[in-house]
Amino acid sequence: MNDPNVVSVFIAGEEYTLRARATPEYTRECAAYVDRTIAEIMKSGSLAGVDKAAILAALAITDELFQAKRAEEEQRAAAAERAQSLASRVEAHIAEADLAGPSRG
């Protein structure tokens, strides 16, 4: 099992020291995304504080996650449907060839 990496990040002007199994670069990338999301929310409205902006950022990021999961599920379902359709067509073609009998060359 990998030991966690210790990484310092800044989110909404505060420094956080995190322990993560992910690479430090990935952890910083995630923290930067959260920081940008909070900053966007703070710019867009008159919020009473960073705490509320962090909650709204968490909701916005969760919405993005759920939408991405739904899109992935839809793509998987569409791919499975295409695969099934192709398999049916191949099976039909093989059945036609079998009915035609052996080919004479």
d(CA 66, CA 31): 19
What are the Cα distances from residue 78, in Å, to 58, 68, 87? Answer: 30, 15, 14
Going residue by residue through the chain (105 aa), what tens digit of pLDDT does each one get? Answer: 578 999 999 999 999 999 999 999 999 999 999 999 999 999 987 666 889 999 999 999 999 999 999 999 999 999 999 999 999 999 999 988 888 777 655
Give the closest residue to 27 by CA, choosing from 51, 48, 9. Answer: 9
Domain boundaries, the chain: 5-100
pTM value is: 0.73
